[in-house]
Structure 1
């Protein structure tokens, strides 16, 4: 009798679960979900092309630009921890980033995943903790002294290091990994700007920097925490195995490097960002503690190093494949330098463009913006839903769930950017006369620099740094992809090229 009762009990439970799962699956509009594991199998299979997979799911919705999926199909979990709303609808993005900003913080899942790496830094905090860092940073980023400091670091690095390395590669007819060089360049610049310490990773020997390597691996391993249920990475962390074991080792290297930087600045304060934050106070009125200062500085390194170098890598790749755009960029640089330095071509090549000259490069800025439209440095962002809400397109989002807005997908939707959305066309960013840069009237069609209260403070500095580097390379060299090299996306927080960008440099004959 008991086996029969057990059988009926199991059958009843399975029937109830099947009915519940049917009701849940009927509401979802994203990839197919399976009992218990939801859409995790598809997420796992597509983990190496996650951004294109998300974009294809959004395109399949037609004009909706929003879908919902579930990664844990279990009662009580499915509508919260396992429930994801994925969107690239500009009105939804504006709602999330500006209109209902307080209802969409980073949230506990994001903060838990990133806490070991970023602590309570500006990119991993909400509320008052975030606000005081934002206000402090905003004051610093509006000062001309910071712009001048950035210009000094950038131009010195280009002139004394980047040009030397590229000239040597030309003489030896040797390919270089341009992405690696750009990462080293922006890393040296942002370290100098943030805590006055130049690691000199961009030098002829191209030395391996333990901090830079550990930081790369740590950001990659941290991203995995977001893609899978929290209990999986927490179990790995508890057992000290797999990706979590490697993450712990890398974090120890990062921690030591940052601790040394903070201690050095305490004994010898300067005008760098870290020194300025050391004079500020937290929400309780106390000076920031050393661990907090470490994480604040690390957050700025993350923002200033990866985003600009990754954007420049995709920019150079796109320019190589669009010679007509390259010709227009070089022509614009030549016109500006002709006005500022005269017609002596040798004077054009003696010094990198200063930031005032770079300000005048309108078409180049358009080409960089078009690059970021197609290949945003941060392709996806995640927000936690505090209270039940309805997005402008009518999508209901339950409290405790996650909203992902896909910046990568926005630029690939015909309903947003038109039939030519997949084309690299800088002209779409210019006025009809072609002499002024013109951002879209709907600002939330382009959120490569975020939007609303969290809009990137360093946006203008980033454009200036990218324009300085791009002009310094393109004015001297013509680039071609190394034979057999394939450009692929890497699974990371930022849109790295998986195998770098191996190119040959050829001396440019200026008109």
Structure 2
């Protein structure tokens, strides 16, 4: 496995697809004999449901995953068993809170109205070429950080200023991906010697901790001063009563909230939006259908005017929803998910697994299997998600769409992510024409988040006034 991963590092996602296709969707990858790093790689949906739902207790994240993803701290993403149950309950309380829903709507609208639209108007007037991936990543960072901390880092502005938070998160993503491919002893030695990506990771972690500390300090001052507003830091400080706590555990909890929410909201949604617009550029008929769907829900006097869409209006757009499902199928922002094994077991595919192994679920490969999706598996067809009566096929989503995971550990921010992505996409498609620069290379990056290696360069022109 190790030589293969090194040789094919730049095409690792597609190389794993080739291997899985030749092995009926499941294969054991052998690691170095003295490291206990054998991995079972699978794109079999029956295995996925068994691991993530049916026999959930036997397949936790595990201590190795926690060390690999150290940047995420101890909260939700890295926790297991009783600790995870407590974190899940806490996180659901936040996302289900009426104030969170209202704040999300406000933050999304403000980010589009005060950030996205002015920026696109500017580049449209100037005839500038813009990297849409960079744009979306910055937009999602600003809106996510606002919802998480109450503060907007204002990374989306003319000139694309460097943002320490974003830079540190990018380094962490690249480092985590490499840690998943090589034995722990190797990357730990790099870390101890202060070499390569591990040296960068150490500095990035220091930067993230300092930023989180500053946000926590400012939020405590705001709460003491009765500053209005709702965000995750304020919610957890008051609900968990950490505002008065001086313990390291309380600080770490708040620090993890800042990092986990920003990473989840920025990276995954920013990547998904980028891939959607690239797929639409390759399938102009699908973009036309989205535009027609938007026009159909508007009063005639608003069809040719600039428009921001409400949540109620966004819920009336099944084709747009299907387009996102199709994007998540072909380009899942988190292309892999790993699990440890508590007790030896036999998977539905017939493969034996044991505690010395790690299971890697490949969502990227799963979305490309003809055995699951048919001969048109590699085609972008939002229609496959829509029933004859024009509704979303939720049964198909539940069976085969794993971008937000499934079972008990399904992403708690799934609905929030769909709302934000639909609002941004609807605003752009209705108000602007977006054209990818000819011959611009678009290829997946070798990272834990499925971004584009060279971004996506586009020119934007205004449609509605």
Any conservation in 2 of the 1:386–1:400 contact (CA below 8 Å)? no
Moved more, 186-195 or 154-163: 154-163
Cα deviation for residue 380 of structure 1 reads 0.6
2:302 corresponds to: 344
The whole-number CA distance in structure 1 between the counterparts of 2:381 and 2:327 is 9
Cα deviation for residue 281 of structure 1 reads 4.6
- 1:423 pairs, out of 369, 374, 379, with 379
Cα deviation for residue 129 of structure 1 reads 2.0
The whole-number CA distance in structure 1 between the counterparts of 2:252 and 2:302 is 52
What's the TM-score, normalizing by structure 2?
0.94
User: 1:43-442 residue pairs with structure 2 within 5 A?
Assistant: 43-61=5-23, 64-74=24-34, 77=35, 81-115=36-70, 117-269=71-223, 270-281=229-240, 289-338=250-299, 342-345=300-303, 348-349=305-306, 351-433=307-389, 435-441=390-396
Cα deviation for residue 245 of structure 1 reads 0.9
The whole-number CA distance in structure 1 between the counterparts of 2:190 and 2:399 is 38
Any conservation in 1 of the 2:103–2:230 contact (CA below 8 Å)? no
Cα deviation for residue 271 of structure 1 reads 2.2
- Superposed CA deviations along residues 263-286 of structure 1, whole A, max 9, x for unmatched, are 11122235211121223459xxx8
Cα deviation for residue 205 of structure 1 reads 3.6
The whole-number CA distance in structure 2 between the counterparts of 1:303 and 1:473 is 23
* Partner secondary structure for residue 480 of structure 1: strand
Shift of the 327–442 alpha-carbon distance from structure 1 to 2, 3 Å rule, reads closer
- 2:411 pairs, out of 456, 459, 484, with 456
* Greater relative contact order, per chain length (Cα 8 Å cut-off, separation 6+): 2
- Superposed CA deviations along residues 319-352 of structure 1, whole A, max 9, x for unmatched, are 01111101100000111122xxx52335x41x41
The whole-number CA distance in structure 2 between the counterparts of 1:234 and 1:259 is 26
2:226 corresponds to: none
* Partner secondary structure for residue 297 of structure 2: helix
The whole-number CA distance in structure 1 between the counterparts of 2:310 and 2:45 is 35
Count of residue pairs the alignment pairs up: 455
Any conservation in 2 of the 1:479–1:503 contact (CA below 8 Å)? yes
1:10 corresponds to: none
- Superposed CA deviations along residues 213-260 of structure 1, whole A, max 9, x for unmatched, are 111112211221111000001111111111111111111111110000
Any conservation in 1 of the 2:297–2:313 contact (CA below 8 Å)? yes
Q: Gapped runs of 5+ residues in structure 2?
A: 224-228
The whole-number CA distance in structure 1 between the counterparts of 2:137 and 2:400 is 28
Q: Gapped runs of 5+ residues in structure 1?
A: 1-38
The whole-number CA distance in structure 1 between the counterparts of 2:452 and 2:232 is 29
* Partner secondary structure for residue 289 of structure 1: helix
